[in-house]
Amino acid sequence: MELREFSVLVERLYEAALHPEGWQTVATDLARAFESGSCAIQLRDLADGRTLILSNTDNYDAKSLADYEAHYYANDPYVDGALKIGFGIPLLGHKIVDANALLNSELYADWGKGIGVFHLTGAMMAVDSGAIAGIGIHRAYGSTDYTVEDQHAVGLILPHLTRALQMYRKLNGLERQGQIGLAALEALTVGVMVVDAAGRLLFSNTVAERLLQKGQGIAASHGHLRAQLADRNLVLQHTIREAVAGFSGRSSHTGMLVMPRRDGLPLSLLVCPAPGDRLGSNRLKAAAIIFVNNPDDRVTPTEAALSAQFRLTPAEARLTAALLDGEHVDDYVQRTGLSLHTVKTQLKAIFAKTGSGRQADLIRVVLANPVLRMCRPG
**Domain tally for the chain?**
3
d(CA 16, CA 51): 19
The answer to whether residue 234 is domain-embedded is yes
Contact 259, 269 (CB under 8 A): yes
d(CA 292, CA 261): 13
38: which strand partners?
138
Residues 140 and 228 in one domain: no
Residue 131 carries which DSSP code?
Answer: E
Residues 278 and 139 in one domain: no
CATH code for position 63: 3.30.450.80
Task: List per-residue pLDDT tens for the chain, 378 residues long.
Answer: 677 788 888 888 988 888 888 898 999 999 999 999 999 999 988 887 888 889 999 999 999 988 888 888 888 888 888 889 999 999 999 999 999 989 988 889 999 999 999 999 999 999 988 899 999 999 999 999 999 999 999 999 999 999 999 988 887 765 565 666 677 777 777 888 989 889 999 888 888 998 898 888 899 988 899 998 888 999 999 999 988 887 544 444 568 888 888 777 888 899 988 754 444 444 445 688 899 987 777 678 889 989 999 999 999 999 999 998 889 999 999 999 999 999 999 999 999 999 998 988 888 888 778 777 777 765
d(CA 217, CA 211): 8
Backbone angles phi, psi at 257, to 5 degrees: -125, 150
d(CA 222, CA 200): 9
The answer to whether residue 127 is domain-embedded is yes
The answer to whether residue 195 is domain-embedded is yes
CATH code for position 355: 1.10.10.10
Burial of 82 (0-12, 13-18, 19+ CB in 10 A): buried
User: What's the confidence (pLDDT) of residue 253?
Assistant: 55
User: What's the confidence (pLDDT) of residue 216?
Assistant: 85
CA angle 295, 301, 305 (to 5 degrees): 160
Residues 159 and 271 in one domain: no
d(CA 216, CA 263): 8
**Residues in CB range of 290: below 8 A, 6 or more apart:** 191, 192, 193, 194, 195, 225, 240, 269, 270, 271, 272
The answer to whether residue 78 is domain-embedded is yes
CA-wise closest residue to 293 among 205, 366, 202, 199: 205
CA angle 158, 56, 26 (to 5 degrees): 50
Show which of 293, 323, 353 is a domain's final residue. 293
The answer to whether residue 356 is domain-embedded is yes
Contact 46, 131 (CB under 8 A): yes
The answer to whether residue 23 is domain-embedded is yes
CA dihedral 293→299→305→311, nearest 10 degrees, is 110
Residues 89 and 63 in one domain: yes
In Å, what is the CA distance from 304 to each residue of 119, 300, 349?
Answer: 61, 11, 17
Residues 42 and 140 in one domain: yes
The answer to whether residue 106 is domain-embedded is yes
Residues 210 and 161 in one domain: no
d(CA 169, CA 167): 5
Residues 15 and 134 in one domain: yes
d(CA 372, CA 361): 16
User: What's the confidence (pLDDT) of residue 240?
Assistant: 92
d(CA 258, CA 221): 20
Residues 271 and 336 in one domain: no
CATH code for position 243: 3.30.450.20
The answer to whether residue 298 is domain-embedded is no
259: which strand partners?
267
Show which of 178, 210, 235 is a domain's final residue. 178
Residues 202 and 132 in one domain: no
User: What's the confidence (pLDDT) of residue 120?
Assistant: 95
Show which of 124, 150, 178 is a domain's final residue. 178
Residue 370 carries which DSSP code?
Answer: H
CA-wise closest residue to 124 among 88, 156, 84: 88
Domain extent, residue 172, equals 3-178
Residues 353 and 318 in one domain: yes
Residues 262 and 309 in one domain: no
**Residues in CB range of 278: below 8 A, 6 or more apart:** 177, 178, 181
Residues 34 and 149 in one domain: yes
